Amino acid sequence: MVKRFAIVFLLALLVVQSVFSGSANASAPGMYTDIQGHWASEQIEKMADLGIVKRTGYQPFYPNKPVTRGEALVMLNRVFEAIYGPIEKPERKPNLDQRYLLRGEVDQLLSNLKTMMKIETDDLGKFDPGDRMLYYLYLAETGHLMKKQEKENPKWWMSSAGMQWPLTREEASLILFHMMAPQKFRTANIKPQDTVSFFNSYYEWKRDRFYRDTYSPYPLAIREFNLFRTEKTFSPNKILTRAEYIVVMDRLIDYYRMDVASQFRGSPANQKHIAQVYLRAANLAYETKNQKQLSALFTDDARKSMAKLEQVPTYNGPVKVSVKADENNSKILWVIAHYLDPKNGDFQIEYRLEEDASNAYGRKITALIYTQK
């Protein structure tokens, strides 16, 4: 009996891995064989085209099967990187079971999200939304409310089995609450040093109730982003299907696109933050030789200029960033990055960002001006 269960379990893992990892040797995009006429077929196809889910050859998608916690986190990272690109190298999370097949992408999500929050708070808030996301999922796995306990277990550990449990709507609201933590901070009008206490007010469930079928604060916390279009009741214990979650991801990616554009048109602080995200993505792509990202963020001439620089900026080194409009064309932005290099001397690079619809930022680096400080 145990052996039979193990075989079934392994087959289930292979199904998940094939849909989310795809085949490295596949030569054609293919199509899903079980979504024709499905109510979410358009969103599923869109997410497949963007690489949020992998589609290689002819295979089923299983739109009506439950989405698991791990799959949900992997899709979140792919949505994030479809807009911003990788902005941090993955850091191995010791609290996550190394046996989980998709853990590498989960690690990437947690690293991206931590860096995004540091940029938004100017590295003063000391709040790690990725770590908190995983911890409160661990509480749910162990049968606890996703609520701050009197004492946290320092040896908490998210198991591979727990990552493969079906995702409830309440758990989805929790992980999306943490994904939107930078945006929540930005609109909360609080000081960076108050970030931890601000988010603790959610973990302590001290926020007003909105939905009549749950006391959890997370559904209301994400209501402003219009990811779940529900009124009065939220159905927190309902299991999300893969199709339902895909539709939420479609709404999230549309929100991110709008948010990026509004930041570039926003206050000097907003422009500085989104410019820092852009430069991290661009310099990390250059450092890791990510050709797809390089083509998306640099023109050919700008890439050639990067190769000729006396000092190449690192993606995560100390830097002071400012943004200004071009004197002759208000549609062109100059991002001035002052890199602090204790070994070789400080230097400055001015990046010219011109409007370009080929990436989600809506801008591309077209020229660089290097200055030794």
pLDDT tens across 68-116, in order? 999 999 999 999 999 999 999 999 999 999 999 999 999 999 999 999 9
Residues 80, 161: one domain?
Answer: yes
Confidence of residue 19 (pLDDT cuts 50, 70, 90): low
Would residue 17 count as lying in a domain?
A: no
Section 325-341 average pLDDT: 93
What domain count does the chain have?
Answer: 2
Would residue 37 count as lying in a domain?
A: no
CA dihedral of residues 255, 260, 264, 270 (deg, nearest 10): 90
Residues 319, 198: one domain?
Answer: no
Would residue 52 count as lying in a domain?
A: no
Section 286-312 average pLDDT: 95
Domain boundary among 216, 236, 263: 263
pLDDT, one tens digit per residue, over 40-60 is 999 999 999 999 999 888 899
C-alpha–C-alpha distance, residues 185 and 191, integer Å: 9
Per the listing, tokens 């990725």 go with 130
Residues 194, 292: one domain?
Answer: no
| CB atoms closer than 10 angstroms to residue 26 | 12
344 vs 323 pLDDT, higher one: 323
So what's the pLDDT on residue 373? 76
310 vs 81 pLDDT, higher one: 81
Residues 130, 171: one domain?
Answer: yes
So what's the pLDDT on residue 20? 64
Q: Is the pLDDT of residue 29 over 80?
A: no
So what's the pLDDT on residue 12? 47
Section 145-164 average pLDDT: 94
Q: What percent of the chain has pLDDT over 90?
A: 84
Domain boundary among 216, 244, 263: 263
Q: Is the pLDDT of residue 363 over 80?
A: yes
* Buried/exposed 197-225: b ≥16 CB within 10 Å, e otherwise: ebbeebbeeeeeeebeebebbbbbbbbeb
So what's the pLDDT on residue 142? 93
Domain boundary among 208, 240, 263: 263
What's the domain range around 329?
Answer: 274-372
Residues 239, 297: one domain?
Answer: no
